[in-house]
Amino acid sequence: MTKQQQRREAEAARAALDPRERQAASQEICRQLLCLPELQGVSCVFSYRAMEQEADASMLHEWLQERGVRLAFPLCLPGGEMEARVPGGWKRGAYGIWEPDPALSPLLAPEEIQVALVPCVAFDRQNRRLGHGAGYYDRYLPRCPQALTVALAFEAQRLERLVCQPHDRIMDLVVTERGVYRK
């Protein structure tokens, strides 16, 4: 199976989830994250705003902000590059994703990120992650040497074995509504 075929299979499985089921599963994923020892005491988290039918971490974002954790989000740049910004305002990006407005949002150095929460189209038991195919995270995450990388997904998105290339980043953890997969 090709990456494209795996993407289609996982996207179809995710789309087949009832919206209420997806919302409940997202809340359970957030609860799983809150219990992770690796998230206790962190001061800087890089996350994302869910699009389409992705696992939604907004409940976790609220919890982190209430505890004074600095929260940054990706800003996609030309040439497939990405940077982390602490949002002071939002705008729609090139892919229709809500991104921090760079005019209002301070840049965060990748070295400051302790935990990187990453969206996911598909994953397997070896914590390989399949994204949307543009490679933004695969290029950005190696620049975050201190970051624990955590993919968020629904269990329905798990495939037996993903097609991988050398540049594909393996996640430290994958968190679903059913539990935590560790590398």
Q: pTM of the prediction?
A: 0.95
Number of separate domains in the chain: 1
Cβ atoms of residues 112 and 85 within 8 Å: no
Which is more confident, 19 or 95?
A: 19
Question: Residue 130 in contact with residue 120, Cβ under 8 Å?
Answer: yes
Digit-coded pLDDT (tens) for 101-148: 999 999 999 999 999 999 999 999 999 999 988 889 999 999 999 999
Residue 55: predicted pLDDT: 97
The boundaries of the domain holding residue 92 are 3-182
* Count of C-beta atoms within a 10 Å radius of residue 156: 18
Q: How confident is the model at residue 168 (pLDDT cuts 50, 70, 90)?
A: confident
Q: Is pLDDT of 164 > 80?
A: yes
Q: Does the pLDDT at position 94 exceed 80?
A: no
pLDDT category, 52, cuts 50, 70, 90? confident
Beta-sheet strands, E only, within the chain: 44-46, 70-76, 82-85, 90-92, 98-100, 107-108, 115-118, 122-123, 129-130, 148-152, 173-176, 179-182
At 40, which CATH number? 3.40.50.10420
